[in-house]
Amino acid sequence: MKKELKPYVALCDAIAKLFYPNVEVVMHDLEAKKLVHIVNAFSKRRVGDAMISELKDLNSIKENWVGPYDKTSSEGKRLKAVSIIVRDAEEKPIGMICINYNTEPIESLFESLKGFLHVNDSAPKPSVLFSQSWREHTDETIEKYLSIKNIALSGLSSDDKKELVVFLESEGIFAIRNVVGYICSVLNVSKATIYNWLKAVRG
């Protein structure tokens, strides 16, 4: 094992211990093309084994990780995996740490809970019994806009925020008392900005 990779051994051990028994952590030496450390092995791989497959040119990868992605172990277990590229002082890839999470126990638990809770049989909650707070109603209306546009709140541009304010106006949100201050905090804009956008809409 290259000396530059040795400090990562403890990291591999810690990750495997934290998520035991559902995580396998494997470290490869890319120059030697060999497996140099493995913890909580799902497979029959051992230290010294050759890498299973040739890797693409890692120098072309700007990120220091790949994934998460789905894979299947040699025993047929469904895994969710992340691969971390270890680089030397010159940013040359010298190692790779693969974290493989066995998702089958979680999937089985989810199926059991879904059956127990009858998720698919749940009826819509009657509005007469469940009154919403104005914040909940505002949040749901914002989520409606984000869903229509297929965009996250954190990804909104200034134009998107303006369009969202127009949408909220059309949904009657600004008829709610004190809602402007709340929307300012959500969108991280000033009250003056909100009022200017509303003025343009209302004419």
Residues in the chain, total? 203
Residue 25 exposed, middle or buried by CB count within 10 Å (0-12, 13-18, 19+): buried
To which residue do tokens 């740490």 refer? 97
Contact 26/38 with Cβ under 8 angstroms? yes
pLDDT in tens, 165-186: 999 999 999 988 889 999 999 9
CATH class of 3-106: alpha beta
* Per-residue pLDDT reduced to its tens digit, 29-79: 988 888 999 998 877 778 888 775 555 556 666 778 888 888 776 667 788
pLDDT averaged over the chain?
A: 83
Q: Please say if the pLDDT value at position 127 is more than 70.
A: no
**Structure confidence at residue 132 (pLDDT):** 54
Residue 197: predicted pLDDT: 94
Delimit the domains of the chain by residue range.
Answer: 3-106, 134-202
pLDDT recorded at residue 75: 67
Model confidence, pTM: 0.51
Q: What is the pLDDT, as a whole number, of residue 189?
A: 94
Per the model's pLDDT, the better-predicted residue between 59 and 91 turns out to be 91
Model pLDDT, residue 131: 46
Query: What backbone phi and psi angles, to 5 degrees, belong to 173?
Result: -65, -35
